[in-house]
């Protein structure tokens, strides 16, 4: 389930994307998703659990865009 947020006034310019997130219903999948993203060239910004215990990861792609993966 992807989530996408943007700033319409910044569309078409670098940084116009505010948030790109993906959710999984299986918390154990987070590590596999992170591994696949890193193997594709992404770098890990943060990989830990929310204070609620739900795992999440923030990554950066090769173009410098940040995206998040978490478990719902």
* Residues facing residue 46 across a β-bridge: 58
What is the CATH number that goes with domain 2-71?
3.30.720.110
**pLDDT single digits (tens) 31-52:** 999 999 999 999 999 988 877 7
CB 30 within 8 A of CB 69: yes
**pLDDT single digits (tens) 6-16:** 566 665 566 55
Cα separation, 47 vs 36, whole angstroms:
14
Cα separation, 64 vs 41, whole angstroms:
11
Q: Rounded mean pLDDT of the chain?
A: 81
Domain ranges of the chain: 2-71
CB 28 within 8 A of CB 52: no
19 or 68: whose pLDDT is higher? 68
Residue closest to 56 by CA, chosen among 29, 17, 19, 36: 29
The owner of tokens 């478990």 is 71
């Amino acid at each position: 389930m992807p989530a996408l947020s943007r700033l319409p006034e910044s569309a078409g310019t670098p940084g116009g994307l505010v948030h790109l997130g993906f959710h999984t219903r299986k918390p154990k999948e987070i590590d596999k998703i992170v591994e696949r993203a890193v193997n594709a060239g992404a770098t890990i910004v943060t990989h830990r659990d929310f204070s609620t215990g739900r795992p999440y990861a923030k990554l950066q792609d090769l173009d410098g865009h940040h995206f998040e993966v978490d478990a719902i």
